[in-house]
Amino acid sequence: MKTRAIIMAGGEGARLSVLTAKRTKPAVPFAGKYRIIDFALSNCVNSNIFDIMVLAQYRPQSLIEHIGSGGPWDLNRDFTGGVRILTPYKARFDSDWFEGTADAVQQNFTFIKQGSPDHILILYGDHIYTMDYDAMITFHMDQQADMTMAVIRVPLADASRFGVVSVDNKYRVRSFVEKPAKPTSGVINMGVYLFNRELLDRVLWEDHLREASTHDFGKDILPRLVKSKLRIIAFPFTGYWMDVGTILSYWQAHMDMLSPNPPLKLYDRRWVIHTRTEERPPVRIPEHACVFASLISDGCSIQENACVESSVLSPGVIVGPGAVVRESIILTDTIIESGAIVERAIIDKHAHVEQNARVGGGIANPDIKLAVVGKNSVIPPGMIVEPGATIGTDVVASDYPSLVVKSGELLETKRQPYEI
């Protein structure tokens, strides 16, 4: 049986604020050295699936550069699978920007069905988890399923954010409701679907012909399949899974990695999360610096009397003398100068927090408000960026109208932004 994996990686990810201003959501860095899409790619190759197509659309440049020819995942193969990145294209008939997740697959189905794979595994590129898809494929065949979806149990209070699934004692899916206001179950759809190829081809074409459809798997395809007489089966998953589609869930997933017993084992050599990394020198931590419960990537410099607590630092981050970083996520090559304090903040690549500035706060407050700083931006000396404030990309000192950016405020540059 041949399985081809399709990774949905075209989403704009607007709920991730300025982190997706210059990149698609699956290309956002995670846990210091990874990109979010690394988890789906690594799950595939660790499950012996080496035939992968990535569907990209919104700002795909970072994603394309990161994946390249697929070498870090052993996917640089010319004739026996490998990884291919497909983007929207204009053709004479019926091709344009993707209107929804199902439309993205349908527009590319001519390529997807080449070689006649038996199964199509559809994944989302913005989830953090480790999962053996081979076990799901075996389960699918044992159950003689037409389509299998992976499900996980979450607290009932969180279920309204997802597709809620009702399952009988034989794993048969009996109902599916996308993001119900009042969910009756905590069993949710993980966004991992295994289709028999011919069924997927048929249901996508039927959906394409429905003018009222939004052409989305969760809103359109799955509800109709469940109401049919087909065998739609739920594959129960009990490991760690996080949809990092919001600033808060992105921050929480990093904090989960820093717990005394992390729910996701990044250091398990039996299930390596592969990625593209550049060579950086070892981390330097001087005698009087403090680093506690944190992930520190290669090339970082923690200087005299600096303190890093419960934080994740990507490669090349500099924390200057006497600076403090707590419960924060600092992305590549950001500089935090002497005396600056960064608490409960997410700071994107190449940002510069200057002397004695303060970004975020509220460590003791159970109501979490995250400060977010966009790529290439500067926080001037003595500036206060309150919890819940957002600094856009490419912001410079002259863009600040005062010495305080208040909670709930979005400060954007007045200049023409540029790409790096």
Full-model pTM:
0.91
Task: Say if residues 52 and 5 touch (Cβ distance below 8 Å).
Answer: yes
- Other beta carbons within 10 angstroms of residue 88's beta carbon come to 18
Write down the pLDDT at residue 96. Answer: 62
Instruction: Specify if 102 maps to a domain.
Output: yes
| Residue 280 near residue 297, CB atoms below 8 Å | yes
Question: What does the DSSP assignment read for 8-20?
Answer: EE----GGGGGGG
Instruction: Say yes or no: 235 and 157 in one domain.
Output: yes
**Same domain for 196 and 64?**
yes
Per-residue tokens: 281:
């020198």
Q: Does some domain include residue 265?
A: no
Say if residue 361 is in the same domain as residue 212: no
What stretch of H or E contains 326? strand 324-326
Q: How far apart are CA 249 and CA 17, in angstroms?
A: 12
- Looking at the domain assignment, is residue 419 inside a domain? no
Spell out the residues 6+ positions from residue 31 whose beta carbon is closer than 8 angstroms to its own. Answer: 254, 257, 266, 295, 312
The residue with tokens 């050295």 is 33
Phi, psi of 133 (to 5 degrees): -70, -25
Asked whether residue 70 falls in the same domain as residue 192, the answer is: yes
Domains identified in the chain, total number: 2
**Tokens 């969180």 sit at which residue?**
158
Residue 28 structural domain: 3-257
Q: Is the separation of the CB atoms in 166 and 187 below 8 Å?
A: yes
Question: What CATH number did the domain enclosing 343 receive?
Answer: 2.160.10.10
Q: Do residues 66 and 195 both lie within one domain? A: yes
pLDDT digits (tens, 9 = 90+) for 88-106: 765 545 556 677 788 899 8
For 274, list phi and psi in degrees, rounded to 5. -85, 150
| Nearest one of 329, 305, 300 to 316, comparing CA atoms | 300
Question: Token match 């409701």: residue?
Answer: 177
> Is 77 a member of any domain?
yes
pLDDT confidence of residue 103: 84
Residue 349 · residue 365 · CB < 8 Å: no
Q: Is 144 helix (H, G, I), strand (E, B) or coil?
A: coil
Question: Quick check: is 280 in a domain?
Answer: no
DSSP state of 219: I
**Where a domain ends, among 257, 282, 308?**
257
CA-nearest of 235, 240, 309 to 268 is: 240
User: Could you tell me if 117 and 207 lie in one domain?
Assistant: yes
Taking Cα atoms as reference points, which of 391, 305, 310 lies closest to residue 17? 391
Closest CA to 133 of 287, 232, 237, 205: 237
Determine contact, residues 163/220, Cβ cutoff 8 Å. Answer: no
pLDDT of residue 419: 46
Amino acid in the structure at residue 18:
V
User: What own/partner pairs with CB < 8 Å and gap ≥ 24 does 90-95 have?
Assistant: 94/208
Tell me the pLDDT of the chain (420 aa) as tens digits.
Answer: 899 999 999 888 889 999 999 999 999 999 999 999 999 999 999 999 999 999 998 899 999 999 999 999 999 987 678 999 998 765 545 556 677 788 899 888 989 999 999 999 999 999 999 999 999 999 999 999 999 999 999 999 999 999 999 999 999 999 999 999 999 899 999 999 999 999 999 999 999 888 888 899 999 999 999 999 899 999 999 999 999 999 999 999 999 999 988 999 888 889 999 999 877 888 988 889 999 999 999 999 999 999 999 999 999 999 999 999 999 999 999 999 999 999 999 999 999 999 999 999 999 899 999 999 999 999 999 999 999 999 999 999 999 999 999 999 999 998 765 444
Amino acid sitting at position 308: V
- How do residues 318-356 score in pLDDT, each as one tens digit? 999 999 999 999 999 999 999 999 999 999 999 999 999
Q: Indicate whether 306 and 404 sit together in one domain.
A: yes
CATH number, domain with residue 239: 3.90.550.10
| Shared domain check, 252 and 321 | no
Distance CA 386, CA 401 (A): 15
Dist. CA 4–CA 81, nearest whole Å: 9
Q: How many CA atoms lie less than 13 Å away from 110 in the CB half-sphere?
A: 5
Nearest-10 Cα torsion for 406, 412, 414, 415: 140
Q: pLDDT over 70 for what percent of the chain?
A: 96
